[in-house]
A and B are shown apart, each in its own frame.
Chain A
């Protein structure tokens, strides 16, 4: 069953310099439990597409359903957890209180909140850090806390907008491994925006290669490396072959030549 289904999706931004075609004729189906990466150069609409799924932008043409509903209805039913490029933690709340934030908004009682805070802190390996303030944590820990916050609403789906883009490569590798484990453990559908080819190949079951002006899907690459992916899978011929295909797709779609 597809959880996200977009058909001939268009989005035109009206700017002072005239209309900008951010998304053009997007057709995409994402099945339950998939890990789909959206990759492409800046301006290709990958983040915009994610924001359309999250009902943060409204498409100007075509149709899109999330869990069979409009994105707005899905948002109101808390179908997804959204992870931003920066951790977007509230600086005046402790880590635990930050994770409690969506639960407070949803009106979940205190005992259940406490339980979910503990569970999700453990899930991202941050047990014992609940009473710290965000500035007391490293960038990688902050981003893990923001993933715990997204998971606390118990969504079917995680929408992640370059969540590790601002982190250094070592931390990033580590968090990629953690994210894969988390995905295997929870079976959530993940839509993941990135501009890193190795990251996309390492994490995904499918990679959506996008190209700019207008933002459109150039190609969809299957990434069937199996569920068990240690970090050194990145040196295997299978991995390199997929990475090569993605790179070719990006180059062909870029249109600089």
Chain B
């Protein structure tokens, strides 16, 4: 067997400083960290500028009412430090995130962690149900022409209905039959997250090459054997990709499920309460909490993907 020979040494080895700092610098430059941080810095700068513009009129009016002399610098400082700004400055959101997570007991309704957990639990339950439903539907569609023809148009139609319109209906109907608490919210997450999984898995389960299907046929493999040994493993990359979309959709579903019902807990409730009382800083920090959570969830699915594809012998 001929293996491509490994290079004798890395290019540039033995030239100049090769310490850990240099290597870190090289890795940062080669990786995605520097581009991402650059974009982040640009956003922060634009945001501070926008905060001045958006809050300028209200803050000027306030300072005028105070009838004391003030400079432009005072006004700018005020636009970045207002209690109920139209657009809060980034540091105000950071402070609010810090105080509502670190300085408050996680069990308190004033803690963002408490609300995040309420939303997360229904997100996860809905996501798991949605993934199971999505996979089940995909397997059904794969094996039955009738289901393929009858179900697929309805599945697509289901996603054209605005979720904001149907969410209250789901909660009201389920409430009438005695289902309350976590489940109705989770069902809205399920409603949103099953769709990408179904579409992705139908594609994934159909992805094996004709030759591999023929091969299983020459073994007289049953449909379930072909499903388990060929179609299912072949569809794994599709499953994880659609789960990434699904988990983010599930989070949106959980938040939307908290909006129309006057729920008292959850990130959605926090958003709603914030808008009732003009607590823009609270709204923005809840938004960021939701974004962080989505990021972490997608990242976790990505970790599971890497681990499972590695176990399946993927190159590198």
Spell out A's residues near B (CB within 8 Å): 54-56, 75-76, 78, 80-82, 84-86, 88, 90-94, 101-102, 104-106, 133, 135, 137-138, 141, 153
Do the beta carbons of B215 and A105 come within 8 Å of each other? no
Do the beta carbons of B215 and A84 come within 8 Å of each other? yes
> B218 in the interface, Cβ–Cβ < 8 Å?
yes
Q: Which of A133, A138, A153 contacts B313 (CB 8 A)?
A: A133
* B260 CB, nearest partner CB in chain A, Å: 45
Do the beta carbons of B218 and A56 come within 8 Å of each other? yes
Once the chains are docked, how many angstroms separate the CA of A135 from the CA of B233? 17
Q: Which of B1, B209, B236 contacts A141 (CB 8 A)?
A: B1
Do the beta carbons of B315 and A135 come within 8 Å of each other? yes
Chain A residues positioned under 8 Å from B217 (CB to CB): 55-56, 75
Chain B residues positioned under 8 Å from A105 (CB to CB): 216, 219-221, 225, 229
> B230 in the interface, Cβ–Cβ < 8 Å?
yes
> B10 in the interface, Cβ–Cβ < 8 Å?
no
Q: A78-B220, A105-B219, A138-B1 are in contact. Are A88 and B233 (CB under 8 A)?
A: no
Chain B residues positioned under 8 Å from A153 (CB to CB): 219
> B312 in the interface, Cβ–Cβ < 8 Å?
yes
Do the beta carbons of B313 and A93 come within 8 Å of each other? yes
Q: A105-B225, A141-B1 are in contact. Are A78 and B313 (CB under 8 A)?
A: no
Main secondary structure, interface of A, reads loop
23 A-B residue pairings within 8 Å (CB atoms): A55-B217, A55-B218, A56-B214, A56-B217, A75-B217, A76-B220, A78-B219, A78-B220, A84-B214, A86-B211, A90-B212, A91-B313, A92-B234, A92-B312, A102-B219, A104-B229, A105-B220, A105-B225, A133-B313, A135-B313, A137-B1, A138-B2, A141-B1
Report the tally of A-B residue pairs with Cβ distances under 8 A: 59
- Give the most central of A54, A76, A92, A138: most B CB within 10 Å: A92
Main secondary structure, interface of B, reads helix
Do the beta carbons of B2 and A101 come within 8 Å of each other? no
* B114 CB, nearest partner CB in chain A, Å: 42
Once the chains are docked, how many angstroms separate the CA of A88 from the CA of B233? 15
Chain A residues positioned under 8 Å from B209 (CB to CB): 88
What per-residue 1/0 map shows which CB atoms of B293-316 lie under 8 Å from chain A? 000000000000000000011110
Smallest Cβ-Cβ distance to B220: which chain A residue: A76
Once the chains are docked, how many angstroms separate the CA of A137 from the CA of B1? 8
Do the beta carbons of B220 and A75 come within 8 Å of each other? yes
Chain A residues positioned under 8 Å from B215 (CB to CB): 82, 84, 88
Q: Which of B2, B211, B220, B313 contacts A92 (CB 8 A)?
A: B313
Q: A90-B230, A104-B229, A135-B315 are in contact. Are A84 and B211 (CB under 8 A)?
A: yes
What per-residue 1/0 map shows which CB atoms of B220-245 lie under 8 Å from chain A? 11000100011001101000000000
* B17 CB, nearest partner CB in chain A, Å: 37
Chain B residues positioned under 8 Å from A91 (CB to CB): 312-313
Smallest Cβ-Cβ distance to B222: which chain A residue: A105
* B306 CB, nearest partner CB in chain A, Å: 14
Once the chains are docked, how many angstroms separate the CA of A141 from the CA of B215? 19
Once the chains are docked, how many angstroms separate the CA of A221 from the CA of B1? 37
Do the beta carbons of A101 and B229 come within 8 Å of each other? yes
Once the chains are docked, how many angstroms separate the CA of A101 from the CA of B233? 13
Chain B residues positioned under 8 Å from A85 (CB to CB): 211
Smallest Cβ-Cβ distance to A97: which chain B residue: B313
Chain A residues positioned under 8 Å from B234 (CB to CB): 92
